[in-house]
Chains A and B, each alone.
Chain A
Amino acid sequence: MSAIRKEDSMLLQKQMISDHYDRLASAHDEGQKVVYTFVPGNLNELVRSFGLLPVLPEINALQSGLRKKSGEYIAEAEKHGHSEDVCTYVKCDIGMLKKGNIGPTGRQLPKPDLLLLSYTGCFTFLKWFELLREEYGDVPVAMLHVPYQANGRIEPHQRDYVVQQMRTEIIPKLEQVSGRKFDEDRLRDMLRLSAAAEDDLVWTLESAKKTPSPIDAYFGGVHYIGPIFSAFRGMQSAVDYYTALRAEVQERLDNGQGPVTPEGPMGKEKYRLVVEGPPNWTSFREFWKMFYDEGAVFVSSTYTKVGGLYDRGFRHDPDHPLETLADYCLGCYTNLGLPTRVDLLEQYIADYNADGFLVNSVKSCNSFSVGQLMMLRQLETRTGVPGLFIENDLVDPRYFSAANIKNRIESYLQMLDQKRGVAA
């Protein structure tokens, strides 16, 4: 493989992340407090409005996967009695903690001053932070229970429930930890910045409707969602990032170019695919290569909606700060009932003119995975578009069988060719 090619926006993001981890590493020395929280349903603007720094354990886990460290961390957690059956993000995080809590930049992460348990779309989150509470001892926990959108719509009492929890549980604890009073105007300013960045993110994701698509909305998409799903939503740096990203993608659109892969510009677009489910992180590049080598590009993905379904119209609304945060939490992808998820995928397949779709089913994430076999059948029946089902894991390298996966991808794409031949 030749040297890895990075777009300017990727370099910009890399710098943002690196700076953030550096700030975290020295946070306690500089008297800055730290809040651990989760990606889906994160209250980044609220946390940041108190001058607190967020740490996202899922991001640490996926970074460990990318850096090939997750295997040893998972083994460490299993050595301490964690079952081989459960979520490997949790075990990777616990293992990393047991081995000194060294972050992706090689510096130790600070202990949390608050565990903000945003229980959105994933039951395991609840257990994860109960486990961290055990590990850290006397760290306070602020619990935000976000009800499930089983019927695919936000009920007013669900919104009220989330807002009430923010008022009575979350904000008081953030005030206590930060020593600052809640400043609603500051929050509104940040929400305004969020909405601006969200506009550009949606524009970028929807650029894939063009043929050829200028982006890969899955393997590239996970980079594009990075700032907005993590520590930077509501920050000027995120607005700047998405402005730069949009300009970059616009240039590729103008030139009729496809996505940029780690090996440079992708060749001719031959297959347009939609994907359901998170990617594998331990063999991320290898997995991507299996697709781009064949001319397959992902034009839309559900994973890039776990931290917000912006492409369906949601924007953070500075005029209703707590209500908009509640709607954001309630609307994250894995908080939606299965029928809504199938409807969404069906729309993606139509809107993005997809030839096929992939279900990447990961062992670790029941929230995503349970029901995916049925989703596959439903989508094939409704759209007539054939699907591919692959099983692996988020960060456990034991569950990525490269040869097997590659065979399945190649067979699937051959089948798409045959189908086209028949149609022609």
Chain B
Amino acid sequence: MQRAQNLSEDIDFAAVTEWKARGVGRKAIGHMPTYVPRELIHAAGMLAVGITGGGDKLEIIRGDAYFQSYICRIPRSTIELALSHRLDMLDGMLFPSICDVIRNLSGMWSMIFPDRYVHYVDVPQNFDTEVGGRFWRRELETLRHDFAQLSGVAIDDEALRASIAVYNENRHVIRDLYRARSERPWIFPMSEVYYLLRAGNVLPPEEHTSLLREYLALAPLETSRRDQDRSRVVLAGMFCEQPPHGLVMTLERAGCYVVNDDFLLGLRWLQDDVATTGDPLDALVDAYLNHSAMSASRYAPDGDRGRWLIDSVERNRAEGVIFAAASFCDPALLDQPMLVAALDRSGIPHTEFKFAEDTGQFAVIREQAGTFSDSIRLWSEA
């Protein structure tokens, strides 16, 4: 656990530098939150590095000069990381289509670092195989070509299928962890799971998988962990800017078992195994079109915007939902009224607050979450 904590809090990304030093010519590709096809990076022999801002460990000195006060925190801390040379070990940077902020950040990046590889990952919002699928396959072909050029390693189908298998395994163990936490959240507290997930930002997937397996085996041996009278809640709105660890701890201390969440959603964006037979790009296309997680940045063609959240509540036997969106996060905050309405229609209790990745005062959040948790325990029909 200490290792996971160190990895997730290290804003100098020493693990990435060390990984690169272990082999000649090794390269690392950074990516902002939500989905990028990490399998292609892996198949080129490179390391995919999740960049989720500077959290509460980084003082912003130059980053604020790039953004107006009404822009969320993650782009300014990411720029700060870069300008303070903490991201110099990255050989390229990917910007998934989360929102206009991250989209425009891709352009800023290419102006600040004209000699570095920068790519905006434009995922389809049309989910027809012959339309959005064809477009996405073409985008994947571009990435495959670019990564091969960057790494000097041609990405053949066999290598890509092997990388898909590696990530399938990683997603599998993350699903196991989430299932275990949902069943016994006192054994696998969110405050620990969060560190373990964040370690996946900087570790090769094989190592991350081993770390998670080890934790799944060891955590139940902690005999002091006992079930307590807490409310089971789902946490929503944190798919991009990540909360400080103190906020997660605060929710637990306020009497909540977090039984599901959307932290670091990119690690488990694909909800099912990707096929390891046939054309591997087609397999990735199919997985994206048909097995993606729902998030505010993805269009819901069926119109049932809140269905995934209600499913999550039901599947995890949650008693309520806590909406915790980053301040000025357009996708999460525009989504919220629709999700709230869906919960209201289903009679599911909820509460809402906003955070920033460097939020340092938790008293108000503790009070609010505590009151919410108490109200569920005292007044719920169950």
Cβ of B228 within 8 Å of any chain A Cβ, yes or no, is: no
The smallest beta-carbon distance between A362 and chain B, in angstroms, is 10
CB <8 Å contact, B331 and A123: yes
The smallest beta-carbon distance between B174 and chain A, in angstroms, is 27
| Contact residues of B between 72 and 90, Cβ < 8 Å to A | 75
CB <8 Å contact, B71 and A366: yes
CB <8 Å contact, A373 and B68: yes
Q: Which residues of A contact B132 (CB under 8 A)?
A: 145, 161
The contact of B107 among A90, A143, A371, by CB within 8 Å, is: A371
Known: A147-B135, A168-B131. A124 touches B303 (CB 8 A): no
CB <8 Å contact, B75 and A370: yes
Q: How far is the CA of A124 from the CA of B106 in the complex (A)?
A: 18
Q: How far is the CA of A81 from the CA of B336 in the complex (A)?
A: 8
Q: How far is the CA of A369 from the CA of B100 in the complex (A)?
A: 9
Tell me the nearest residue of chain A to B98, going by C-beta: A123
Known: A145-B126, A169-B126. A83 touches B134 (CB 8 A): no
| Contact residues of A between 363 and 378, Cβ < 8 Å to B | 363, 366-367, 369-374, 378
Tell me the nearest residue of chain B to A139, going by C-beta: B303
Q: How far is the CA of A371 from the CA of B109 in the complex (A)?
A: 10
CB <8 Å contact, B330 and A127: yes
The smallest beta-carbon distance between B330 and chain A, in angstroms, is 6
Q: Which residues of B contact A337 (CB under 8 A)?
A: 106-107, 110, 120
Chain B 127-153 per-residue mask, 1 if CB under 8 angstroms from chain A, else 0: 010111011001100000000000000
Known: A85-B70, A168-B131. A145 touches B124 (CB 8 A): yes
| Contact residues of A between 107 and 131, Cβ < 8 Å to B | 119, 122-124, 126-128, 130-131
CB <8 Å contact, A339 and B341: no
CB <8 Å contact, B99 and A123: yes
Chain B 298-335 per-residue mask, 1 if CB under 8 angstroms from chain A, else 0: 01110101000000000000000000010111110111
Tell me the nearest residue of chain A to B95, going by C-beta: A150
The contact of A363 among B68, B134, B337, by CB within 8 Å, is: B68
The contact of A373 among B67, B297, B299, B329, by CB within 8 Å, is: B67
Cβ of B101 within 8 Å of any chain A Cβ, yes or no, is: yes
Q: Which residues of A contact B301 (CB under 8 A)?
A: 141, 143
Cβ of B103 within 8 Å of any chain A Cβ, yes or no, is: yes
CB <8 Å contact, A131 and B330: no
Tell me the nearest residue of chain A to B110, going by C-beta: A339
The smallest beta-carbon distance between A94 and chain B, in angstroms, is 9
Q: How far is the CA of A373 from the CA of B69 in the complex (A)?
A: 11
Number of interface residues of A (CB under 8 A): 50
CB <8 Å contact, A124 and B131: no
CB <8 Å contact, A165 and B99: no
Cβ of B61 within 8 Å of any chain A Cβ, yes or no, is: no
Q: Which residues of B contact A363 (CB under 8 A)?
A: 68, 70
User: Interface majority SS on A: helix, strand, loop or mixed?
Assistant: helix
Tell me the nearest residue of chain A to B332, going by C-beta: A83
The smallest beta-carbon distance between A231 and chain B, in angstroms, is 25
Cβ of A68 within 8 Å of any chain B Cβ, yes or no, is: no
Q: Which residues of B contact A391 (CB under 8 A)?
A: 68
The contact of B104 among A128, A158, A366, by CB within 8 Å, is: A366
Q: How far is the CA of A351 from the CA of B317 in the complex (A)?
A: 64
Cβ of B283 within 8 Å of any chain A Cβ, yes or no, is: no
Chain A 155-181 per-residue mask, 1 if CB under 8 angstroms from chain B, else 0: 001101100110011000000000000
Cβ of A361 within 8 Å of any chain B Cβ, yes or no, is: yes
B97, B103, B111, B335 pick with most chain A CB within 10 angstroms: B103
Q: Which residues of B contact A81 (CB under 8 A)?
A: 336-337, 340
CB <8 Å contact, B111 and A338: yes
Chain B 11-43 per-residue mask, 1 if CB under 8 angstroms from chain A, else 0: 000000000000000000000000000000000
Q: How far is the CA of A120 from the CA of B103 in the complex (A)?
A: 13
| Contact residues of A between 299 and 347, Cβ < 8 Å to B | 337-339, 341-342
The smallest beta-carbon distance between A112 and chain B, in angstroms, is 14
Q: Which residues of A contact B58 (CB under 8 A)?
A: none
Cβ of B287 within 8 Å of any chain A Cβ, yes or no, is: no
The smallest beta-carbon distance between A154 and chain B, in angstroms, is 13
Tell me the nearest residue of chain A to B125, going by C-beta: A145
CB <8 Å contact, A338 and B327: no
CB <8 Å contact, A161 and B135: yes
CB <8 Å contact, A134 and B341: yes
The contact of A150 among B68, B71, B120, B340, by CB within 8 Å, is: B120
CB <8 Å contact, A370 and B134: no
Cβ of B154 within 8 Å of any chain A Cβ, yes or no, is: no
Cβ of A133 within 8 Å of any chain B Cβ, yes or no, is: yes
The smallest beta-carbon distance between B94 and chain A, in angstroms, is 11
Known: A83-B333, A145-B124, A366-B100. A150 touches B106 (CB 8 A): yes
CB <8 Å contact, A339 and B303: no
Cβ of B173 within 8 Å of any chain A Cβ, yes or no, is: no
Interface residues of A (CB under 8 A from B): 80-83, 85-87, 90, 119, 122-124, 126-128, 130-131, 133-134, 141, 143, 145, 147-148, 150, 157-158, 160-161, 164-165, 168-169, 337-339, 341-342, 361, 363, 366-367, 369-374, 378, 391
Given contacts A83-B334, A134-B338, A338-B107, 15 further A-B contacts (CB under 8 A): A81-B336, A123-B103, A123-B297, A127-B331, A130-B303, A130-B334, A145-B299, A148-B122, A161-B132, A168-B128, A337-B106, A366-B71, A369-B68, A374-B111, A374-B112
The 8 A-B residue pairs with the shortest CB-CB distance, nearest first, are A338-B107, A127-B334, A150-B120, A145-B125, A370-B104, A161-B135, A366-B100, A83-B333
List 9 A-B pairs, Cβ < 8 Å. A119-B125, A130-B335, A150-B107, A157-B134, A337-B107, A338-B107, A342-B111, A373-B68, A374-B112
Interface residues of B (CB under 8 A from A): 65-68, 70-71, 75, 97, 99-101, 103-108, 110-112, 119-120, 122, 124-126, 128, 130-132, 134-135, 138-139, 296-297, 299-301, 303, 305, 325, 327-331, 333-338, 340-341, 354
